[in-house]
Structure 1
């Protein structure tokens, strides 16, 4: 059977089930083979687990249809499963951004199913992977990557979330948000007749232009997109580390926005922690981590952890809990 579960707990999606067949001597039994997928805004990472241990680990382009076309998503999944999905697979457990409804989960499961027709497929919001990778079954997971979101669960089985609305409606504190704010900062300086500062100069160099006015057309161009502008977040981080005040303020605001999301979910669930911060920015930008901790401390939250392994490695725990 193939199932696709989202944050609200989706019903199973019917699918044919075929016999698994015998495994070669010494190989993992089919029931012991699980593939975990972490489908982000910029890449899809897949890990093949046998007996709960990773035996293959590959990355391809994004298979998130909020960021790429359905055709590109399907092509990237085909590439990934060709690398790690051969043979009988018992289960695929996929986490992805933008899984907000049963229909979202079912649509992604439908893209995965042709590659593993005998497998059970579970699709959840990617924040579930993050919490499990932090070794927690209750608490709040905060994604700070290309996008942003907070999701949590308590011991009574209640779930809550904040953010995760996508870049047009939110994604505060994310890589995209920082990249966009760098553009806005540069355009404000231009409108005020000020010379480009160090952040603007770095942005212009990265965009291969010498005129801030050209950033407007570039930002709206189909040749750039969410991934491109999220990658410009590194310029804000570098400028902040070099002492640029506005960049430091932007990262502090990002930390505050992420902390506010986490605090909201904690209140809804009646929890005081833990809060686990993960994804690209969350795991790698110390200045953001410090801001995040400080703003949560003001809210009385002190059990704050930085994820030490990628979210996809939470899949074995989720599969065990599911069983």
Structure 2
């Protein structure tokens, strides 16, 4: 039938695009995360099947009409985790139609337009990931919120809450950040933080959603909030520097960045660029060309033997690309 599904199975949500081989977008849909560590196998299977069913059924297609599902998934960086996810695909009878990648692989491809370069992500979590001209992969970070995720939305939110409890103790100066957090989360008092963070259904995404509060306070001149955001940028810079040292260098280098924090929080982005340029003047930093789901589509087109120049997946109009 000439249809391709691209899926960005991130840590907090999943986005799917269905396109034809001319690059025209037929459908877009969202569902829950496909991370087996945070969701569990049964929930991941449910989310995946729901996404595929909606994309197909609402457009009167069947799985037989699909040439390929190009899927990038969080939490399958280790071989044993990848095998677990492959078992899910086999169980739902689509394994032979799936090109399986990690979420950060499709993010890099979307960011650069091809499978080469450096990509730094700061969303709910964080990671620096690179592929050199020989296809060798490099990474720093990506260890999850308990062991890492430095400079992420979760990290910013957690540090904001940690600052709040220091204010309660008298170890930190009280600023507008405390009042704005209480207001945002509909608390009566600052000590409600205990019940909030220990709620059985609390997620790392919930903590990450405190980031806009920190951004608002920083934009209003709150020094504590500005410091939290700048420290996040410096953490991301350290991840990036580690990758730069690991990867072979040849002339100029561009780092593409993505994720809600680096794309939307200007203080983090600007301070991050400043930190990188201070040590590596030849390095350029810019935001991603395309979102990760388009990276999945690019890899899918490559697997199908269709050249990718530039498709306007957002408006469903073909801009380039032809069958080889």
TM-score, normalised relative to structure 1: 0.84
The residue number in structure 2 matching 1:59 is 30
- In the TM superposition, what is the alpha-carbon distance from 1:113 to its structure 2 partner? 4.2
- Taking the aligned partners of 1:220 and 1:158, their CA distance within structure 2 comes to 41
- Taking the aligned partners of 2:19 and 2:92, their CA distance within structure 1 comes to 16
The residue number in structure 2 matching 1:264 is 242
The residue number in structure 1 matching 2:137 is 159
The residue number in structure 2 matching 1:281 is 261
- In the TM superposition, what is the alpha-carbon distance from 1:118 to its structure 2 partner? 6.5
- In the TM superposition, what is the alpha-carbon distance from 1:166 to its structure 2 partner? 0.3
Q: Does residue 46 in structure 1 map to residue 23 in structure 2? A: no
The residue number in structure 2 matching 1:129 is 106
The residue number in structure 2 matching 1:109 is 86
- Relative to structure 1, the CA distance from residue 81 to residue 115 in structure 2 (aligned partners, 3 Å threshold; closer, same or farther) is farther
Structure 1: gaps spanning 5 or more residues: 1-28
The residue number in structure 1 matching 2:51 is 80
- In the TM superposition, what is the alpha-carbon distance from 1:111 to its structure 2 partner? 2.8
Structure 2: gaps spanning 5 or more residues: 306-324
User: Aligned to 1:248, what secondary structure does the other structure show?
Assistant: helix
User: Aligned to 2:76, what secondary structure does the other structure show?
Assistant: coil
Out of 250, 264, 273, the position equivalent to 1:293 is 273
The structure with higher relative contact order (CA 8 Å, sep 6+) is 2
Q: Which moved more, 1:244-253 or 1:110-119?
A: 110-119
Q: Does residue 203 in structure 1 map to residue 184 in structure 2? A: no
List 4+ stretches of structure 1 deviating above 3 A: 112-116, 193-196, 320-323
* 8 Å contact kept, 1:165–1:171: yes
- Relative to structure 1, the CA distance from residue 75 to residue 316 in structure 2 (aligned partners, 3 Å threshold; closer, same or farther) is closer
- 1:135-174 matches, within 5 Å, as 135-174=113-152
TM-score, normalised relative to structure 2: 0.83
Q: Which moved more, 1:210-219 or 1:153-162?
A: 210-219
- Taking the aligned partners of 1:302 and 1:179, their CA distance within structure 2 comes to 29
* 8 Å contact kept, 2:11–2:33: yes
- Taking the aligned partners of 2:22 and 2:288, their CA distance within structure 1 comes to 20
User: Aligned to 1:130, what secondary structure does the other structure show?
Assistant: helix
- Taking the aligned partners of 1:101 and 1:109, their CA distance within structure 2 comes to 12
- In the TM superposition, what is the alpha-carbon distance from 1:263 to its structure 2 partner? 2.0
